[in-house]
Structure 1
């Protein structure tokens, strides 16, 4: 994971070098124009030192590249907040980990979520959430009780009813088949999804298993307006804020949404998954 962060810094440094070379000035000239020490210029270009936002603005001003400044600052912010290690999060307990996710919902007007193997957290029942979070507690050895974390996750459902936000969900059919908990837990969760399809602020699409795809299944992602995308991996929570990357997530979501069925057809698939429970 640290190698990926370092690679991102090196790519950013290479971009700074390209801007300097395009301006036709040397590293020492840029140092004079920007007020930096010339050794700092080298460290930034080689990804050995983290630039500040002021450094980026000074760099762009010295190179006559003010039009690129906003995009570079957004990229820098994305690198700085890109990886949040689970173990560091878990020091505060599973409940704390859940609360840190609320801030994204509070600030967004449109929330998009794609999940391939699990029901989105904000749509989970208490029993289903308990089964999912028990796995996380066991795997990561986090502090705090699972019950408290479940309460925080369920409290997030308030956003579904406040009427201030629109929620667009897309789930793969096999997410309805992947079992967390026993048959009764799964039946309760699927019946909950049937109810969710009637919420005025919610669009819930299910991708049928036999659809001919124009977009591959991907990792679960939450997209908050066009400002941030959050992806959870086994080792980290990745927060993307770079506009060009978010546009790719939005494009991917649109394609996956195009594979999904909604309304009565989605409810038919959910009932089919209930019947498959036996």
Structure 2
């Protein structure tokens, strides 16, 4: 968890404590009033637990200041927008996460993506996507709405063919070699990659093993226009909209793109990855 995130959570807890004190309640009294454990009240006030929006509404009403609910929710949204834990995002499954991303795709005209370990979602086949979602469901022990999540991802790919949209994808060659699904599924996935080369709305660059890199090929990220960056980690996503952060990730993307090959040369990298599967 980032320091900024924790500090924001502590600051929210301090505000909750102030409101409780202003209402004249002890922690025990408020817990009884809300039907919570006293430990929950304590953890929220000390920043050891992240409140939900429902928690904040209940707190505001419980201390007799319902008008503060909007303020509290605003504080929560402010730091949620920076760090979105998978535990919280996946509480209702993967489809709601896909639906949230679809909104950002619809809002955007130019999208850039870098992936170093798997095929970017917008270019995944349904079978490949199903294996990816299944792996993450097992990892996070989240609801198994795999079919719904796959459908949402595949439906979003329709925008690849929409005039006015521009997608710039960068993949490191290991993403083409990571056999995270049966070889036959991976072979079909690589054929899909070959098929998008040449689309008017798509630029697909592949950074080969042998390319000289000016930066390490670190974790994947998306840049939506020049207003938002989404970075994935194991425990959370980072949603970054500060101009200096967006500019930094654009520089990273441009640097990595300088090591990529395109067109016929990209086809060659895909073909050798296909041969390495032993299915041709």
Would the alpha carbon gap of residues 80 and 172 (structure 1) be closer, same or farther in structure 2, given more than 3 Å must change? same
Task: Kindly report which structure 2 residues correspond to 1:109-128, keeping only aligned pairs within 5 A, or say none.
Answer: 109-128=109-128
| 8 Å contact kept, 1:95–1:144 | no
Question: What is the CA distance between 1:147 and its match in structure 2?
Answer: 1.0
Could you tell which deviates more after superposition, 118-127 or 211-220?
211-220
Task: Kindly report which structure 2 residues correspond to 1:70-109, keeping only aligned pairs within 5 A, or say none.
Answer: 79-109=79-109
Between the aligned partners of 1:161 and 1:275, the Cα distance in structure 2 is: 29
Q: TM-score, normalised by structure 1?
A: 0.73
Task: Kindly report which structure 2 residues correspond to 1:1-278, keeping only aligned pairs within 5 A, or say none.
Answer: 1=1, 3-6=3-6, 79-278=79-278
Q: TM-score, normalised by structure 2?
A: 0.73
Between the aligned partners of 1:7 and 1:217, the Cα distance in structure 2 is: 30
Between the aligned partners of 1:180 and 1:112, the Cα distance in structure 2 is: 24
CA RMSD, Structure 1 to Structure 2 (Å): 2.0
Q: What stretches of structure 1 of length at least 5 have no aligned partner?
A: 11-75
Would the alpha carbon gap of residues 141 and 80 (structure 1) be closer, same or farther in structure 2, given more than 3 Å must change? closer
| 8 Å contact kept, 1:123–1:157 | yes
Q: Give the number of aligned pairs.
A: 214
Would the alpha carbon gap of residues 136 and 229 (structure 1) be closer, same or farther in structure 2, given more than 3 Å must change? same
Would the alpha carbon gap of residues 254 and 87 (structure 1) be closer, same or farther in structure 2, given more than 3 Å must change? same
Q: What's the CA shift string for 1:82-123, capped at 9, x where partnerless?
A: 011111111221111111111111111100000000000010
Secondary structure (helix, strand or coil) at the match of 1:198 reads coil
